[in-house]
Amino acid sequence: MSEPVEEAFAAMAAAHPRCFWLDGGGARDWSGRRSLLGWLDEDDVSLSYAAATRTVTRHAGGRSEVVAVGDGDVFAVLEAELTAGGPDDQWFGYLGYACRPDLPARPARDLPDAVWMRPSHVRVFTHHDPGRHAERAPAATRRMTSAGTVPVPEEYAAAYARVQEALHAGDSYEVNLTHRQRTTSDLDPVAAYLRLRALNPAPYAGFLQHDVPGARAWLLSSSPERYATVARTDDGGRSIETKPIKGTTPRGATPEEDAAAAERLRTEQRYRAENLMVVDLLRNDLATVCEPGSVEVPVLMDVESYASVHQLVSTVRGRLRPEVGTVAALRSLFPAGSMTGAPKRRTMEVVDAVEATPRGVYAGAFGWLAADGRADLGVVIRSLVTTGDGTWELGTGGGVTVHSDAASEHAEARWKAERLLAVFAAPVRDTRR
Protein backbone atom coordinates (compact mmCIF):
# COMPACT_ATOMS: atom_id res chain seq x y z
CA MET A 1 0.00 0.00 0.00
CA SER A 2 1.40 3.44 -0.92
CA GLU A 3 -0.84 5.34 1.51
CA PRO A 4 0.82 5.77 4.95
CA VAL A 5 -0.86 3.45 7.41
CA GLU A 6 -1.30 6.28 9.93
CA GLU A 7 -3.38 8.29 7.47
CA ALA A 8 -5.50 5.28 6.55
CA PHE A 9 -6.02 4.56 10.25
CA ALA A 10 -7.17 8.09 11.08
CA ALA A 11 -9.58 8.17 8.13
CA MET A 12 -10.99 4.75 9.05
CA ALA A 13 -11.58 5.63 12.70
CA ALA A 14 -13.30 8.89 11.75
CA ALA A 15 -15.68 7.17 9.35
CA HIS A 16 -16.48 3.88 11.10
CA PRO A 17 -17.68 3.56 14.73
CA ARG A 18 -16.54 -0.08 14.84
CA CYS A 19 -12.99 -0.65 13.63
CA PHE A 20 -9.53 -1.88 14.62
CA TRP A 21 -5.83 -1.74 13.80
CA LEU A 22 -3.65 -4.76 14.57
CA ASP A 23 -0.37 -2.90 14.30
CA GLY A 24 2.71 -4.65 12.91
CA GLY A 25 4.88 -1.53 12.95
CA GLY A 26 6.72 -2.54 16.11
CA ALA A 27 6.72 -6.24 15.33
CA ARG A 28 9.46 -8.76 15.85
CA ASP A 29 10.47 -11.48 13.41
CA TRP A 30 8.37 -14.00 15.33
CA SER A 31 5.20 -11.92 14.99
CA GLY A 32 5.46 -10.67 11.40
CA ARG A 33 5.55 -7.11 10.07
CA ARG A 34 2.02 -6.67 8.75
CA SER A 35 -0.70 -4.33 9.91
CA LEU A 36 -4.38 -5.20 9.57
CA LEU A 37 -6.89 -2.35 9.44
CA GLY A 38 -10.53 -3.42 9.49
CA TRP A 39 -13.95 -1.85 9.83
CA LEU A 40 -17.58 -2.88 9.99
CA ASP A 41 -20.51 -1.75 7.89
CA GLU A 42 -23.72 -0.99 9.75
CA ASP A 43 -25.15 -4.47 9.09
CA ASP A 44 -22.00 -6.28 10.21
CA VAL A 45 -22.03 -8.11 13.53
CA SER A 46 -20.19 -7.32 16.73
CA LEU A 47 -20.56 -8.91 20.17
CA SER A 48 -20.16 -7.47 23.65
CA TYR A 49 -20.09 -9.28 26.98
CA ALA A 50 -21.01 -8.12 30.50
CA ALA A 51 -19.55 -10.48 33.10
CA ALA A 52 -21.67 -9.00 35.91
CA THR A 53 -24.85 -10.41 34.36
CA ARG A 54 -23.21 -13.00 32.08
CA THR A 55 -24.92 -11.32 29.14
CA VAL A 56 -23.75 -11.51 25.54
CA THR A 57 -25.23 -8.87 23.21
CA ARG A 58 -25.21 -8.95 19.41
CA HIS A 59 -24.95 -5.59 17.63
CA ALA A 60 -25.93 -5.21 13.96
CA GLY A 61 -27.98 -2.90 11.78
CA GLY A 62 -28.15 -0.23 14.48
CA ARG A 63 -29.85 -2.66 16.89
CA SER A 64 -28.59 -4.54 19.95
CA GLU A 65 -30.04 -7.95 20.82
CA VAL A 66 -29.26 -10.05 23.88
CA VAL A 67 -28.32 -13.54 22.69
CA ALA A 68 -27.29 -15.06 26.01
CA VAL A 69 -28.15 -13.98 29.53
CA GLY A 70 -27.65 -15.43 33.01
CA ASP A 71 -25.54 -18.34 31.83
CA GLY A 72 -23.82 -16.57 28.93
CA ASP A 73 -20.26 -17.55 28.07
CA VAL A 74 -18.57 -15.36 25.48
CA PHE A 75 -16.24 -18.23 24.52
CA ALA A 76 -19.23 -20.44 23.71
CA VAL A 77 -20.95 -17.68 21.70
CA LEU A 78 -17.76 -17.05 19.72
CA GLU A 79 -17.42 -20.75 19.00
CA ALA A 80 -21.04 -20.85 17.78
CA GLU A 81 -20.54 -17.80 15.55
CA LEU A 82 -17.42 -19.33 13.99
CA THR A 83 -19.20 -22.64 13.41
CA ALA A 84 -22.27 -21.00 11.85
CA GLY A 85 -20.36 -18.51 9.70
CA GLY A 86 -18.51 -18.83 6.45
CA PRO A 87 -15.16 -20.62 6.03
CA ASP A 88 -13.31 -17.32 5.56
CA ASP A 89 -14.78 -15.53 8.58
CA GLN A 90 -12.45 -13.78 10.97
CA TRP A 91 -13.29 -12.12 14.28
CA PHE A 92 -11.22 -9.37 15.92
CA GLY A 93 -11.49 -8.22 19.51
CA TYR A 94 -10.58 -8.64 23.15
CA LEU A 95 -11.39 -10.82 26.14
CA GLY A 96 -11.21 -9.10 29.52
CA TYR A 97 -9.83 -10.71 32.65
CA ALA A 98 -13.27 -11.79 33.97
CA CYS A 99 -14.42 -13.61 30.84
CA ARG A 100 -14.27 -17.11 32.34
CA PRO A 101 -17.24 -17.33 34.72
CA ASP A 102 -15.83 -20.47 36.34
CA LEU A 103 -12.84 -18.54 37.71
CA PRO A 104 -12.78 -15.86 40.45
CA ALA A 105 -12.57 -12.40 38.86
CA ARG A 106 -14.62 -9.24 39.29
CA PRO A 107 -16.44 -7.75 36.27
CA ALA A 108 -15.15 -4.61 34.60
CA ARG A 109 -16.31 -1.28 36.01
CA ASP A 110 -17.09 0.66 32.83
CA LEU A 111 -16.10 -1.10 29.61
CA PRO A 112 -17.61 -4.31 28.26
CA ASP A 113 -15.72 -7.34 29.54
CA ALA A 114 -15.33 -8.47 25.92
CA VAL A 115 -15.85 -7.04 22.45
CA TRP A 116 -15.57 -9.01 19.20
CA MET A 117 -16.19 -7.79 15.66
CA ARG A 118 -16.66 -9.51 12.29
CA PRO A 119 -15.60 -6.97 9.65
CA SER A 120 -16.53 -6.84 5.98
CA HIS A 121 -13.42 -4.81 5.20
CA VAL A 122 -9.78 -5.59 6.03
CA ARG A 123 -6.74 -3.85 4.55
CA VAL A 124 -3.18 -5.18 4.82
CA PHE A 125 -0.07 -3.00 5.19
CA THR A 126 3.51 -4.27 5.25
CA HIS A 127 6.12 -2.46 7.38
CA HIS A 128 9.77 -2.20 6.40
CA ASP A 129 11.63 -0.97 9.48
CA PRO A 130 13.59 -3.93 10.95
CA GLY A 131 15.50 -3.21 14.13
CA ARG A 132 13.22 -0.39 15.27
CA HIS A 133 11.89 -2.42 18.15
CA ALA A 134 15.33 -2.74 19.80
CA GLU A 135 16.08 1.01 19.98
CA ARG A 136 16.41 2.43 23.45
CA ALA A 137 14.02 5.05 24.77
CA PRO A 138 15.08 8.71 24.62
CA ALA A 139 17.31 9.80 27.50
CA ALA A 140 14.55 11.93 29.05
CA THR A 141 12.28 8.91 29.25
CA ARG A 142 15.02 6.77 30.78
CA ARG A 143 15.57 9.41 33.45
CA MET A 144 11.85 9.41 34.12
CA THR A 145 11.71 5.66 34.66
CA SER A 146 14.78 5.51 36.88
CA ALA A 147 14.35 8.75 38.84
CA GLY A 148 14.71 8.65 42.62
CA THR A 149 13.12 6.43 45.21
CA VAL A 150 9.38 6.86 45.62
CA PRO A 151 7.75 5.81 48.91
CA VAL A 152 5.53 2.74 48.64
CA PRO A 153 1.87 3.78 49.04
CA GLU A 154 0.10 2.32 52.06
CA GLU A 155 -2.53 0.58 49.94
CA TYR A 156 0.09 -1.19 47.84
CA ALA A 157 2.16 -2.10 50.91
CA ALA A 158 -0.89 -3.67 52.56
CA ALA A 159 -1.76 -5.69 49.45
CA TYR A 160 1.86 -6.78 49.10
CA ALA A 161 1.96 -7.95 52.73
CA ARG A 162 -1.16 -10.06 52.23
CA VAL A 163 0.38 -11.59 49.10
CA GLN A 164 3.49 -12.51 51.09
CA GLU A 165 1.28 -14.14 53.73
CA ALA A 166 -0.32 -16.27 51.01
CA LEU A 167 3.07 -17.18 49.54
CA HIS A 168 4.53 -18.18 52.89
CA ALA A 169 1.38 -20.17 53.71
CA GLY A 170 1.85 -22.19 50.54
CA ASP A 171 -1.35 -20.94 48.91
CA SER A 172 0.63 -19.77 45.89
CA TYR A 173 4.14 -19.93 44.47
CA GLU A 174 3.86 -16.62 42.65
CA VAL A 175 1.21 -13.87 42.56
CA ASN A 176 0.92 -11.25 39.85
CA LEU A 177 -0.01 -8.23 41.97
CA THR A 178 -1.47 -5.32 40.00
CA HIS A 179 -3.38 -2.10 40.42
CA ARG A 180 -5.21 0.40 38.22
CA GLN A 181 -4.47 4.06 37.61
CA ARG A 182 -6.84 6.60 36.11
CA THR A 183 -6.21 9.91 34.43
CA THR A 184 -8.34 12.41 32.54
CA SER A 185 -7.52 13.89 29.15
CA ASP A 186 -9.44 15.31 26.21
CA LEU A 187 -6.94 13.70 23.83
CA ASP A 188 -8.73 11.89 21.03
CA PRO A 189 -8.19 8.09 21.08
CA VAL A 190 -6.73 8.16 17.56
CA ALA A 191 -4.17 10.79 18.51
CA ALA A 192 -3.48 8.96 21.78
CA TYR A 193 -2.76 5.73 19.93
CA LEU A 194 -0.39 7.38 17.47
CA ARG A 195 1.55 8.77 20.43
CA LEU A 196 1.54 5.39 22.18
CA ARG A 197 2.95 3.49 19.22
CA ALA A 198 5.71 6.11 18.86
CA LEU A 199 6.64 5.88 22.55
CA ASN A 200 6.38 2.11 22.94
CA PRO A 201 6.50 0.07 19.69
CA ALA A 202 5.55 -3.53 20.42
CA PRO A 203 4.63 -6.76 18.60
CA TYR A 204 1.08 -6.82 19.99
CA ALA A 205 0.31 -3.17 19.48
CA GLY A 206 -3.16 -2.31 18.33
CA PHE A 207 -6.28 -0.18 18.54
CA LEU A 208 -9.94 -1.18 18.90
CA GLN A 209 -12.90 1.19 18.63
CA HIS A 210 -16.42 -0.02 19.45
CA ASP A 211 -18.49 3.17 19.55
CA VAL A 212 -21.88 1.55 20.20
CA PRO A 213 -24.38 2.87 22.78
CA GLY A 214 -24.31 0.68 25.88
CA ALA A 215 -21.08 -1.06 24.84
CA ARG A 216 -18.58 1.72 24.14
CA ALA A 217 -14.93 0.72 24.32
CA TRP A 218 -11.57 1.92 23.10
CA LEU A 219 -8.51 -0.28 23.68
CA LEU A 220 -5.03 1.06 22.87
CA SER A 221 -2.42 -1.68 23.19
CA SER A 222 1.37 -1.65 23.16
CA SER A 223 1.81 -5.16 24.52
CA PRO A 224 5.03 -7.13 24.00
CA GLU A 225 3.54 -10.45 25.13
CA ARG A 226 2.01 -13.24 23.08
CA TYR A 227 -1.03 -14.84 24.70
CA ALA A 228 -1.31 -17.63 22.13
CA THR A 229 -1.15 -18.44 18.46
CA VAL A 230 -2.87 -21.38 16.83
CA ALA A 231 -1.45 -22.34 13.44
CA ARG A 232 -2.03 -25.07 10.88
CA THR A 233 0.73 -27.66 10.52
CA ASP A 234 1.84 -29.23 7.26
CA ASP A 235 0.01 -32.47 8.04
CA GLY A 236 -3.31 -30.72 8.69
CA GLY A 237 -3.06 -30.56 12.46
CA ARG A 238 -2.82 -27.46 14.66
CA SER A 239 -0.04 -26.20 16.89
CA ILE A 240 -0.52 -23.80 19.79
CA GLU A 241 2.22 -21.55 21.15
CA THR A 242 2.45 -19.08 24.00
CA LYS A 243 5.33 -16.77 24.99
CA PRO A 244 5.02 -15.79 28.66
CA ILE A 245 6.95 -12.78 29.95
CA LYS A 246 8.06 -12.85 33.55
CA GLY A 247 10.93 -10.58 34.50
CA THR A 248 11.24 -6.95 33.39
CA THR A 249 13.92 -4.30 33.89
CA PRO A 250 14.43 -0.80 32.42
CA ARG A 251 16.96 -0.20 29.64
CA GLY A 252 20.25 1.37 30.73
CA ALA A 253 21.26 4.96 29.98
CA THR A 254 24.59 3.88 28.42
CA PRO A 255 25.55 0.76 26.42
CA GLU A 256 27.45 -0.53 29.45
CA GLU A 257 24.54 0.03 31.84
CA ASP A 258 22.18 -1.49 29.28
CA ALA A 259 24.24 -4.66 28.93
CA ALA A 260 24.51 -4.95 32.72
CA ALA A 261 20.72 -4.60 33.08
CA ALA A 262 20.13 -7.38 30.54
CA GLU A 263 22.63 -9.67 32.26
CA ARG A 264 21.06 -9.01 35.66
CA LEU A 265 17.66 -9.94 34.24
CA ARG A 266 19.09 -13.12 32.74
CA THR A 267 20.77 -14.32 35.93
CA GLU A 268 18.98 -12.90 38.99
CA GLN A 269 17.21 -15.58 41.03
CA ARG A 270 13.87 -13.81 41.52
CA TYR A 271 13.41 -13.19 37.80
CA ARG A 272 14.31 -16.76 36.90
CA ALA A 273 12.00 -18.14 39.61
CA GLU A 274 9.08 -16.04 38.34
CA ASN A 275 9.61 -17.18 34.77
CA LEU A 276 10.08 -20.85 35.56
CA MET A 277 6.91 -21.08 37.65
CA VAL A 278 4.81 -19.56 34.87
CA VAL A 279 6.39 -21.89 32.30
CA ASP A 280 5.42 -24.87 34.44
CA LEU A 281 1.86 -23.52 34.76
CA LEU A 282 1.54 -23.13 31.00
CA ARG A 283 2.97 -26.56 30.33
CA ASN A 284 0.18 -27.90 32.52
CA ASP A 285 -2.49 -25.75 30.80
CA LEU A 286 -1.36 -26.89 27.35
CA ALA A 287 -1.20 -30.52 28.43
CA THR A 288 -4.98 -30.45 29.02
CA VAL A 289 -5.67 -29.69 25.33
CA CYS A 290 -2.61 -31.05 23.50
CA GLU A 291 -1.58 -34.50 22.34
CA PRO A 292 0.35 -36.45 24.98
CA GLY A 293 4.07 -35.84 24.82
CA SER A 294 3.79 -32.91 22.39
CA VAL A 295 4.22 -30.05 24.86
CA GLU A 296 7.73 -28.59 24.73
CA VAL A 297 9.71 -25.51 25.79
CA PRO A 298 11.89 -24.61 22.78
CA VAL A 299 13.07 -21.35 24.38
CA LEU A 300 13.59 -20.90 28.12
CA MET A 301 14.32 -17.45 29.59
CA ASP A 302 15.53 -15.53 26.59
CA VAL A 303 16.12 -11.77 27.00
CA GLU A 304 14.16 -9.63 24.51
CA SER A 305 14.91 -5.90 24.33
CA TYR A 306 12.34 -3.20 23.63
CA ALA A 307 12.48 0.59 23.48
CA SER A 308 12.16 1.04 27.24
CA VAL A 309 12.67 -2.39 28.84
CA HIS A 310 14.40 -5.76 28.72
CA GLN A 311 12.02 -8.73 29.19
CA LEU A 312 12.66 -12.36 30.17
CA VAL A 313 10.64 -14.47 27.72
CA SER A 314 10.05 -18.20 27.30
CA THR A 315 8.19 -20.15 24.64
CA VAL A 316 5.84 -23.07 25.34
CA ARG A 317 4.37 -25.06 22.44
CA GLY A 318 2.21 -28.12 21.82
CA ARG A 319 0.08 -29.93 19.23
CA LEU A 320 -3.66 -29.61 19.79
CA ARG A 321 -5.76 -32.74 19.99
CA PRO A 322 -8.06 -33.01 16.93
CA GLU A 323 -11.26 -32.89 18.98
CA VAL A 324 -10.32 -29.65 20.80
CA GLY A 325 -11.65 -26.53 19.07
CA THR A 326 -9.47 -23.46 18.82
CA VAL A 327 -11.73 -21.34 21.05
CA ALA A 328 -11.80 -24.13 23.63
CA ALA A 329 -8.00 -24.29 23.55
CA LEU A 330 -7.71 -20.54 24.09
CA ARG A 331 -10.21 -20.78 26.94
CA SER A 332 -8.11 -23.44 28.67
CA LEU A 333 -5.19 -20.98 28.94
CA PHE A 334 -7.32 -18.04 30.02
CA PRO A 335 -6.38 -15.79 31.67
CA ALA A 336 -2.66 -15.81 30.85
CA GLY A 337 -0.62 -17.55 33.52
CA SER A 338 1.88 -14.68 33.52
CA MET A 339 -0.95 -12.42 34.72
CA THR A 340 -2.22 -14.70 37.48
CA GLY A 341 0.60 -16.71 39.01
CA ALA A 342 0.64 -20.34 40.05
CA PRO A 343 -1.40 -22.36 40.79
CA LYS A 344 -3.94 -20.45 38.73
CA ARG A 345 -7.28 -20.81 40.54
CA ARG A 346 -5.96 -20.39 44.09
CA THR A 347 -3.77 -17.49 43.03
CA MET A 348 -6.71 -15.79 41.33
CA GLU A 349 -8.56 -16.06 44.64
CA VAL A 350 -5.64 -14.30 46.34
CA VAL A 351 -5.64 -11.62 43.62
CA ASP A 352 -9.37 -11.09 44.02
CA ALA A 353 -8.98 -10.67 47.77
CA VAL A 354 -6.09 -8.18 47.74
CA GLU A 355 -6.54 -6.00 44.64
CA ALA A 356 -8.70 -2.92 45.29
CA THR A 357 -10.23 -2.66 41.80
CA PRO A 358 -11.32 -5.10 39.07
CA ARG A 359 -8.82 -5.65 36.28
CA GLY A 360 -11.35 -5.14 33.49
CA VAL A 361 -9.79 -5.48 30.05
CA TYR A 362 -6.29 -5.49 31.59
CA ALA A 363 -4.68 -8.95 31.84
CA GLY A 364 -7.02 -10.32 29.18
CA ALA A 365 -6.24 -11.06 25.51
CA PHE A 366 -6.53 -9.08 22.26
CA GLY A 367 -6.27 -10.29 18.67
CA TRP A 368 -8.09 -12.40 16.07
CA LEU A 369 -9.79 -15.76 15.53
CA ALA A 370 -10.47 -17.44 12.18
CA ALA A 371 -13.05 -20.01 11.12
CA ASP A 372 -10.29 -22.24 9.74
CA GLY A 373 -8.92 -22.78 13.26
CA ARG A 374 -6.12 -20.22 13.30
CA ALA A 375 -5.75 -17.52 15.95
CA ASP A 376 -3.25 -14.94 17.21
CA LEU A 377 -3.72 -12.95 20.42
CA GLY A 378 -1.53 -10.87 22.72
CA VAL A 379 -1.86 -10.31 26.46
CA VAL A 380 -3.48 -6.98 27.38
CA ILE A 381 -0.63 -5.23 29.18
CA ARG A 382 1.01 -1.82 28.58
CA SER A 383 -2.42 -0.68 27.40
CA LEU A 384 -4.90 2.17 27.82
CA VAL A 385 -8.69 1.92 27.84
CA THR A 386 -11.52 4.43 27.79
CA THR A 387 -15.24 4.65 27.15
CA GLY A 388 -14.62 7.88 25.25
CA ASP A 389 -15.66 10.15 28.13
CA GLY A 390 -12.20 11.61 28.76
CA THR A 391 -11.34 9.15 31.56
CA TRP A 392 -8.51 6.73 30.81
CA GLU A 393 -7.47 3.67 32.78
CA LEU A 394 -4.35 1.52 32.75
CA GLY A 395 -3.26 -1.50 34.71
CA THR A 396 0.25 -2.11 35.98
CA GLY A 397 2.04 -4.56 38.25
CA GLY A 398 4.36 -7.55 38.31
CA GLY A 399 5.03 -11.01 39.64
CA VAL A 400 5.70 -11.38 43.36
CA THR A 401 7.54 -14.32 44.95
CA VAL A 402 9.05 -14.86 48.40
CA HIS A 403 12.30 -13.39 46.99
CA SER A 404 10.63 -10.07 46.09
CA ASP A 405 10.56 -6.82 48.05
CA ALA A 406 7.81 -4.24 48.10
CA ALA A 407 9.91 -1.22 47.07
CA SER A 408 11.35 -2.78 43.92
CA GLU A 409 8.02 -4.32 42.89
CA HIS A 410 6.21 -1.01 43.28
CA ALA A 411 8.99 0.79 41.40
CA GLU A 412 8.64 -1.68 38.51
CA ALA A 413 4.88 -1.09 38.37
CA ARG A 414 5.43 2.67 38.52
CA TRP A 415 7.82 2.94 35.59
CA LYS A 416 5.66 0.63 33.49
CA ALA A 417 2.77 3.04 34.11
CA GLU A 418 4.87 6.14 33.45
CA ARG A 419 5.61 4.94 29.94
CA LEU A 420 1.87 4.88 29.22
CA LEU A 421 1.05 8.12 31.02
CA ALA A 422 3.64 9.88 28.84
CA VAL A 423 1.04 9.64 26.05
CA PHE A 424 -0.83 12.49 27.76
CA ALA A 425 2.24 14.69 28.11
CA ALA A 426 3.97 16.57 25.27
CA PRO A 427 3.20 15.38 21.74
CA VAL A 428 5.53 12.76 20.23
CA ARG A 429 6.22 12.73 16.50
CA ASP A 430 5.85 9.29 14.95
CA THR A 431 8.26 8.84 12.04
CA ARG A 432 7.66 5.14 11.41
CA ARG A 433 5.83 3.67 8.42
Active-site residue list? 225, 246
C-alpha to C-alpha distance for 238 and 233, rounded to whole angstroms: 5
- List, in order, residues 6 or more apart from 92 with CB less than 8 Å away: 20, 22, 36, 38, 116, 117, 118, 119, 208, 367, 368
Name 385's bridge partners.
219, 393
Name 149's bridge partners.
none
To the nearest 10 degrees (0 to 180), the angle between helices 269-287 and 255-267 is 50
C-alpha to C-alpha distance for 173 and 338, rounded to whole angstroms: 12
C-alpha to C-alpha distance for 119 and 129, rounded to whole angstroms: 28
